């Protein structure tokens, strides 16, 4: 169903066996992901089944996303328009934003990335709430960067990119032993933007025990962040493993468990996350290109609503540079 701001909803017919197709694709994607899980941001992740991922994206395009894209085009939505996905059940585990036809080298021939700027939202109400509270950044812009460079080699380079873009009075870095949960929580209250470059931890049984692994393997849980009540929270960049991944084997498959979505419930309006393990070497490149776009009009003219376009353009540049399919398709945007 396509919901429009000023017009009646449009129902787009999809295959009758869609549920079976989604279940099969989700299981195949989980199999591809398991190949990567043993080698997360600690180094160069293992090459997943490239052909299988390509096939998943192509089936997803033909069965789900192409009919939706055709409907949007028929309604006159121009290329580059924003589209919000609100998938339910196992569909929430699939990379709808990257659905398309790819050649043998993984180059996009046609598909959603060439048409629209995709974002996700766990619920329509959370998206509406984020829109109502969204404000433009200004002279008060401050970014907190939290990382574990002792276990993730490229984090220091990632933070170096941030230092080259942001002055000391705007950027605060907590790395290694400095990244303790109490300190991070305290600084989150004063920093509307946060950049996590660490491991993510998902707990399907107790979602709010999920969080980010900091110094000495201590976790900053979602419960901690939610209880902190962050009225100024705007943007969260989660360069963390599985920060937006759904545990499809959860006992509650209709509830998508994601760190990215949970950060939206914690008050952040816009979140960048990953569907599966990201390569450590992509961290510095992604951070530099993303924040360059966000800061292109100067520190006094930042707008959190630009973050979806920033992710879209950054992954497009990765695509054009020949970065393997599994490395750029993992990045997603959640929120406004």
DSSP secondary structure string for all residues of 243-256: TT---TTSS-TTS-
Say if residue 123 is in the same domain as residue 140: no
Say if residue 119 is in the same domain as residue 141: no
Residue 72 covered by a domain: yes
Dig out the tokens for 336 from the structure.
């406004």
Say if residue 105 is in the same domain as residue 179: no
Say if residue 81 is in the same domain as residue 154: no
Asked which of 101, 127, 153 is the last residue of a domain, the reply is 127
Which pLDDT does position 246 carry in this prediction? 53
Say if residue 258 is in the same domain as residue 148: yes
Residue 4 covered by a domain: no
Percentage of residues in the chain having pLDDT higher than 90: 63
Residue 8 covered by a domain: no
Host H or E run for residue 35: helix 18-37
Distance (Å, whole) CA 289 – CA 295: 10
Domain count, the chain: 2
Q: 120-155: b or e for each residue (b if 16 or more CB lie within 10 Å)? A: bbbeeebbebbeeeeeebeeebbbbbbbbbebbebb
Residue 51 covered by a domain: yes
**Mean pLDDT score, 277-306:** 94
Percentage of residues in the chain having pLDDT higher than 70: 87
Give the tens place of pLDDT for each residue, 66-96: 999 999 999 999 999 999 999 988 898 899 9
10 Å CB burial of residue 312 (0-12, 13-18, 19+) is buried
Which pLDDT does position 254 carry in this prediction? 43
Say if residue 171 is in the same domain as residue 267: yes
Residue range(s) defining the domain that contains residue 314: 136-335
């Amino acid at each position: 169903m396509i919901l429009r701001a000023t017009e009646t909803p449009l129902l787009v017919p999809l295959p009758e066996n869609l549920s079976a197709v989604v279940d099969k694709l989700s299981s195949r994607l989980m199999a591809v992901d398991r190949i990567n899980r043993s080698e997360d941001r600690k180094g160069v992740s293992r090459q997943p089944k490239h052909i299988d991922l390509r096939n998943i994206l192509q089936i997803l395009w033909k069965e789900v996303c192409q009919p939706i894209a055709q409907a949007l085009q028929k309604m006159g939505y121009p290329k580059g328009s924003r589209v919000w996905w609100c998938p339910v059940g196992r569909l929430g585990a699939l990379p709808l934003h990257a659905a398309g036809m790819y050649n043998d080298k993984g180059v996009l021939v046609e598909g959603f990335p060439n048409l629209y700027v995709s974002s996700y939202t766990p619920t329509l109400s959370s998206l509406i709430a984020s829109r109502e509270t969204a404000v433009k950044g200004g002279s008060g812009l401050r970014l907190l960067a939290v990382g574990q460079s002792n276990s993730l080699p490229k984090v220091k380079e990632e933070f170096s990119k941030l230092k080259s873009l942001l002055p000391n009075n705007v950027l605060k870095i907590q790395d290694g032993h400095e990244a303790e949960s109490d300190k991070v929580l305290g600084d989150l209250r004063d920093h509307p933007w946060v950049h996590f470059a660490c491991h993510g931890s998902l707990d399907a049984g107790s979602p709010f025990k999920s969080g980010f692994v900091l110094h000495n393997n201590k976790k900053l849980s979602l419960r901690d962040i939610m209880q902190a009540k962050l009225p100024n929270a705007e943007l969260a960049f989660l360069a963390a493993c599985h920060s937006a991944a759904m545990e499809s084997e959860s006992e509650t498959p209709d509830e998508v468990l994601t760190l990215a979505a949970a950060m939206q419930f914690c008050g952040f309006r816009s979140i960048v996350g990953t569907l599966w393990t990201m390569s450590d070497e992509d961290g510095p490149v992604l951070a530099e290109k993303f924040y360059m776009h966000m800061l292109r009009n100067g520190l006094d003219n930042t707008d959190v609503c630009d973050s979806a376009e920033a992710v879209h353009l950054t992954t497009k540049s990765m695509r054009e540079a020949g970065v393997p399919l599994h490395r750029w398709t993992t990045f997603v945007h959640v929120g406004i």
